[in-house]
Amino acid sequence: MSRKKDEKRLDEVISRTINSGKPEFDAEKWKQKYPEEFQMLQSMSAEKTRTRRPSIWRVVSQSPIIKLAAAAVIIVGIGLYAVLVHQGPGEHHVPVVKSPTKMMTAMSLTMAYRRGGIEAIDEQCEKAIRMLGPRPLRLTLGQLLSENND
């Protein structure tokens, strides 16, 4: 007997032994047998929304675009934080009231020059003069000395 015929015969024998008619699913019978599960199936939608809360991490990890956007937000956030932390309180434009004498010291004038060049020195001098206010046209020696003796 040829190999092909042997195989065919084996197929027939197995089929005859195993195959006892195609099983048909009876949905109605099944619903009657498992009413609790059927009820559970119908209420599945509500159950799903109750039990599964959307996880941010899951949403982020599923889409590459959202991943990139999240990474960009994190980098920008870290950058802003670093800038704010490294910016010392002196760099904020907090008005500091100095006396005209202090404003005219060499150190103060050098700092003004570094900040804005010769215009800044000029501005600082103007400011110091303004702070001193109007001066009397004439000043006696006694008045001048009394001011220095204070």
Token pair recorded at residue 35: 């009413």
Does residue 23 interact with another protein by CB under 8 A?
A: yes
Please, what is the minimum distance in Å from the beta carbon of residue 55 to another protein? Answer: 13
The closest alpha carbon to 102, from 89, 112, 92, belongs to: 112
Interface segment toward another protein; rule CB under 8 A; list 24-32, 88-96, 104-112, 122-130: 24-32
Token pair recorded at residue 129: 């003069």
Site for another protein in 33-62 (CB under 8 A): 33-34, 37-38, 40-48, 51-52
Does residue 126 interact with another protein by CB under 8 A?
A: no
* Amino acid letter, 75: I
Ordered alpha helix ranges (H), 43-139: 44-51, 56-62, 64-86, 100-103, 106-132
CA atoms within 13 A of residue 82's CA, in its CB half-sphere: 6
| Binding-residue pattern over the window 76 to 95 for another protein, x denoting contact by CB under 8 A | --------------------
Please, what is the minimum distance in Å from the beta carbon of residue 9 to another protein? Answer: 6
> Distance (Å, rounded) from C-alpha 108 to C-alpha 102?
7
Q: Which residues would be at the binding site for another protein (CB under 8 A)?
A: 1, 6-7, 9-11, 13-20, 22-25, 27, 30, 33-34, 37-38, 40-48, 51-52
